[in-house]
Amino acid sequence: MTFTSLTDGLTRGIGDLMSPLTNLVSEPVIRLGVTGLSRAGKTVFITGLVANLLDRGRMPQLTAEAQRRIEAAWLQPQPDMTLARFDFEGHLAAMTGDDPRWPDSTRAVSELRLSFRLRPAGFFGLGPTTLHLDIVDYPGEWLLDLGLMDKTYDEWSEATLARIAARPQARDFMATARAEDGALRLDETRARALAESFTAYLTAARAAGWSDCTPGRFLLPGDLAGSPVLTFAPLPKPASTPRQSLWREMERRFDAYKAEVVRPFFRRHFARIDRQVVLVDALGAIHAGPQAVEDLRRTMTDVLTAFRPGTNGWLTSLLGGKRVERILFAATKADHLHHLQHPRLTAIMEALVREAKSRADFAGAETAAMSLAGLRVTVEETIERGGETLPAVKGRLASTGKAAVMYPGTLPDDPARLLSPAREGAERWLDADYQVMSFLPSRITRRPGEGPPHIRLDRAAEFLIGDRL
Residue pLDDT, tens place only, 201-254: 999 998 888 888 899 899 988 888 899 999 999 999 999 999 999 999 999 999
Report the mean per-residue pLDDT for the chain: 86
pLDDT of residue 19: 41
Q: How many CB atoms lie within 10 A of CB 83?
A: 18
Q: Residue 317: its pLDDT value, please?
A: 52
The answer to whether 211 and 295 have CB atoms below 8 angstroms apart is yes
Q: Report pTM.
A: 0.86
- For 36-45, the pLDDT digits (tens) are 876 788 999 9
Separation of alpha carbons 285 and 294, rounded Å: 9
Q: For residue 303, which of 367, 234, 218 has the smallest C-alpha distance? A: 367
What distance in Å separates the CA atoms of residue 182 and residue 161, rounded to the nearest whole number? 15
Q: CA torsion 186→191→192→196, rounded to 10°?
A: 180
Question: For the chain, what percentages of helix, strand and coil (3-state, to nearest 5) are there?
Answer: 45, 15, 35
Query: From the centroid of its chain, how far is CA 134?
Result: 16
Q: Which residue positions in the chain have pLDDT lower than 50?
A: 1-24, 310-313
| β-pair partners for 334 | none
User: Residues 328, 45: contact at Cβ < 8 Å?
Assistant: no
Treating both helix axes as pointing N-terminal to C-terminal, what angle do 42-54 and 457-465 enclose, rounded to 10 degrees?
A: 80
| pLDDT, position 147 | 80
Report which DSSP code applies to 261.
I
* 352, 393 Cβ separation under 8 angstroms: no
For the purposes of burial, counting CB atoms within 10 Å of the CB of 454, is it exposed (0-12), middle (13-18) or buried (19 or more)? buried
Beta-bridge mates of residue 379:
394
For residues 411 and 384, give the distance between their C-alpha atoms in angstroms, rounded to a whole number. 18
Neighbours of 69 (CB within 10 A): 18
